[in-house]
Structures are given as C-alpha cells and as structure tokens.
Chains A and B, each alone.
Chain A
Amino acid sequence: MHILCVCGVGQGSSLILKMNVETVLKELGIEAKVEHSDVTSATGANADYIITSNELAETLKNRATSEIIIVNNFFDTNEIKHALQEHIK
C-alpha cells in the first residue's frame, strides 16, 4: 500500500502528518509506504491513498486518482486512526 501525505509546499505540515500517520499505521498493524509531497506533485502521484486537509482535498479531488482521506487535526492520532480505519479496510 502506498500512502501520500500532502500539504501546500510539502515541507512542514505534510511531514508532521506523515510521522503521525506512520505511528497510527504501526498501531493498527498496517504495512504501507508513506511519503509526503506538495499539492502540485500529488496530482500526478500513483498512491493508493492521499491524506490531506479539507482545504487541499477540494483541489485534489478533481485531479488525483487516489482515494482521498481528510484529516482536520494533524496532531490528533485518534482522529487519524478513525479516518484511516474508515477508508482502509
């Protein structure tokens, strides 16, 4: 499984999200390759899932082929866990 965490410039928020997503995936026992990128590169990426904020999801929805998972609080591992469980089955 390939997961891409996306933010506007791909340097800050997406990295924070990536680290927290990795923690949660480990807890859930899910094996995945997690990467981070900016919103422009994400549109052409070949990921199974894109995790991002609601704001950028709007932009990505029409351009990316990956399933999009929205997270509002990048620091809340419970929210991330619920969002992942809902989409990844």
Chain B
Amino acid sequence: MKFLEKKLVALDVTVKDPEEAIKKAGELLVQANLVENTYVEAMLRSYRENGPYFVIAPHIAIPHARPEDGVFEACVSLIQLKHGIHFGHQANDPVKLVFGLGASSSEEHLTLLKKLMNLLNKQENIKKLFHAKSYEDINQLIKEV
C-alpha cells in the first residue's frame, strides 16, 4: 500500500484540461510501478463514459478505475494544480487537487480509502493541501491520518 509518498506527489502542476490532469495523476502511479498503463487508460475512459462524477467534493477529484484494469498495489497519488480546471461538475468545479486512486481488491484498498477520508473530512486539511508549497507540508498532514 502506497499512500501519497514523495514520488507520488507533484505540486504546482500546470495542465490544459481534465484529461491531462487525470493522466498526470495516473502517470505518477505508473512510474512507481504501482499500476499499469492500461489502468490510466481506464481512468480516462471512465471520465469519458460517466462524466466528472469523481469530483466528489469542492475542488477535489478522485479519478479511478477497477482493480482488473491493471493495479499491482493499492495506491494514491496527488497532483496539486497551479490553476483550477473545470471538469464539468455542476457543484464542485474548479478542480484544484487530483488524487489518482489505484483501486485494489484487497483489504488495503479499504485502509487506503479510510486514510484518504481522514485526510479530506477536515476542511482545514484541504486548505493546507491547496496551499502546500513542498512535500514536507503534505507529509505533516499525512502523518496524522
């Protein structure tokens, strides 16, 4: 299980559209050998087919696909966007944080989601994530969850 480790976090990232944002969040997982390329493609496909439903809180997107789309290990990456991007979500646009979720079918998946919930259930944590300048800022937050 890999949760927002240093190599899975990129800050102040510029992207031109939602697809590029999803791709970048996915690529962090691919580079760390946690998911296959096919998984990132499935994330993009889900966005095209189902729309931006995974923008599940104001300014927060959690793109994901199915374990069988190519996940080696349960994992979460984060892209902090320099400029908010409109995903087409009625209530929660613009997106500023993109959490790439590598969904596994193991117990670890639940543990990982609980960590993510503990992090994002607090409004003050979200504000800190918006304004994080370095990985150290993020690390402070995830130590507590």
Interface residues of A (CB under 8 A from B): 7-13, 15-17, 19-20, 39, 52-56, 59, 72-77
Contact = CB atoms under 8 A, between A and B. Distances in A.
Contacts of A39: 50
Nearest to B42: A9
B113 A53 contact: no
Contacts of A13: 53-54, 56, 62, 64
B53 A73 contact: no
A76 B91 CA distance: 13
B67 interface: yes
B50 A8 contact: yes
A56 B53 contact: yes
Nearest to A52: B53
B56 A74 contact: yes
A9 B66 contact: yes
B53 A12 contact: no
A12 B101 contact: yes
B79 interface: no
Given A54-B91, A73-B92, A76-B57, A12 B50 contact: no
Interface residues on B, range: 20 to 34
B56 A73 contact: yes
A37 B50 CA distance: 14
B93 to A, nearest CB: 11
A75 B117 contact: yes
B23 to A, nearest CB: 17
B90 A9 contact: no
Contacts of A73: 56-58, 91-92
24 contacts: A8-B53, A9-B46, A9-B50, A9-B66, A13-B64, A15-B109, A19-B113, A19-B114, A19-B117, A20-B121, A39-B50, A54-B89, A54-B90, A54-B91, A55-B51, A56-B50, A56-B51, A59-B50, A72-B90, A73-B56, A73-B91, A73-B92, A74-B56, A74-B57
